[in-house]
Amino acid sequence: MSAVQLQAAPPEAAAAEPEVLMRVVNRVAVITLNRPSALNALSHGMVRQLATLLEQCRHDDGIAALVLRGAGQKGFCAGGDVRALYQLAQQGRMDGDDGWLQFFVDEYRLDYALHQFPKPIVALMDGITMGGGMGLGQAARLRVVTERTKMAMPETRIGFLPDVGATRFLSVMSPELELYVGLTGVTLTGADALHCHLADVCVPAEWLASFEDRLQRMPHDGDLMQALRRVFEPPCNVVPHAPLAQAMPWVLRYFDRRSSVDRIVATLRESLERESAREPRQWLQATLDAMTTHSPTMLHVTREALLRGRQLSLAECFQMELGIVARGIQEGDFCEGVRAHLVDKDHRPGWAPATLPQVRPERVRHFLTSPWRAEAHPLAGLG
């Protein structure tokens, strides 16, 4: 619902269109996130609807594959409905209710089910694909991006961590690139996503406009994944240049897995003072700005979680992330980050602690310690 309604709808007006749509085209279920005015951000209701549709498709022998897409031309999915979560969290802090937790439990269960789904899934990550949108898209067997894709895990900016399985799916990259993407929240192009192994094909956005026509003619008597790939990738596909490729020497130099967050920042600052060339200075400044304005606590916690996730199973990563999420909302910077950047928009969050050196090791360890006993963990059944 929009924040301001110019006029009341007449009594006979039709009900609002569902936020998740599904139609079957030649035995392929096309599921559409249908909230374009909010860049298809996930409400709790959408998460539940998606979970229900997924189970229907799992048990329907007439459905051979799934396609996930977003309505409109601006985005696949901009993430979870952070404003709604902020309101629930604020209310919970006053009355002790943790109703916000169920959103994450349901979202993680949905994402895990997508990763484990027995039938091929295609995700059309055209346009903005961030946060919760990455949780959906990275579970797909065929991940399609375009020249319009803007992909990121920007959670540290609002006092959160890259979640929805990011501590696992970002590990397809080198540790240095994973830390750079996860800590800074840098926005990746479609070609960058291919370079980072976060996409399988990068195609022109206009090619996707007619995918249902090609899907209608897709044969089912051969290799299904090859057939799906022919539907979504043009015969002569030219992938644009990945801007990130030019920055890779800098990423490898500054985001060494052995370096603490404090050390990364100190080295960036020292290099910026010495550097005179324009392009390296621009990269150093943008990277330093992210590392010094995002939540100090969550930068430290995110670094540890990303490195730990490289050694964990997908289920264990979801379980670890949920514990950090619970700490971050109840005791951390999440509410303040959302207030500063999305509610009041003063862009002056009062982080606690305020600087990276003030974050004590015991605080980081606390955030990485589960709030629940193993048998009582809300995601104990995963895996």
Same fold, 15-152+190-241 and 245-383: yes
CA distance 254 to 179: 10
- Rounded Cα gap, residues 173 and 343, in angstroms: 34
**Domain 245-383, CATH homologous superfamily name and number:** 2-enoyl-CoA Hydratase; Chain A, domain 1 (3.90.226.10)
Specify the residue for token string 């603490």: 260
Task: Give CA torsion, residues 324, 85, 39, 109, to 10 deg.
Answer: 50
- Spatial distance between the Cα atoms of 320 and 365, rounded to a whole number of angstroms: 12
pLDDT in tens, 200-210: 999 999 999 99
- Tell me which H or E stretch contains 25: strand 20-25
pLDDT value for 9: 37
Q: Residue 3: its pLDDT value, please?
A: 32
The Cα–Cα gap between 246 and 23 comes to 42
The pLDDT, as a whole number, for residue 314 is: 98
Query: How far lies 319's CA from each of 196, 263, 276, 360, in Å?
Result: 25, 29, 45, 24
**pLDDT value for 183:** 98
End-to-end CA distance of the chain: 37
Q: How many CB atoms lie within 10 A of CB 169?
A: 24
Instruction: State the alpha helices, DSSP H only, in the chain.
Output: 44-59, 82-95, 100-115, 132-137, 166-169, 175-184, 190-195, 205-208, 211-216, 224-232, 243-254, 261-274, 278-293, 296-309, 314-330, 334-338, 361-367
- What does each of the 383 residues of the chain score in pLDDT, given as a tens digit? 333 323 333 344 345 789 999 999 999 999 999 999 999 999 999 999 999 999 999 999 999 999 999 999 999 999 999 999 999 888 876 666 678 999 999 999 999 999 999 999 999 999 999 999 999 999 999 999 999 999 999 999 999 999 999 999 999 999 999 999 999 999 999 999 999 999 999 999 999 999 999 999 999 999 999 999 999 999 999 988 999 999 999 999 999 999 999 999 999 999 999 999 999 999 999 999 999 999 999 999 999 999 999 999 999 999 999 999 999 999 999 999 999 999 999 999 999 999 999 999 999 999 999 999 999 999 999 97
DSSP state of 233: S
Distance from chain centroid for Cα 381: 23
Per-residue pLDDT tens over the stretch 320-376: 999 999 999 999 999 999 999 999 999 999 999 999 999 999 999 999 999 999 999
Q: Is 146 left (phi over 0), alpha (psi -120 to 50) or beta?
A: beta
> 15-152+190-241 in CATH: which number?
3.90.226.10
pTM of the complete model beyond 0.85? yes
Decide: 159 and 337 in contact? Cβ < 8 Å: yes
Domain boundaries, the chain: 15-152+190-241, 245-383
What pLDDT, on a 0 to 100 scale, did the predictor assign at position 175? 98
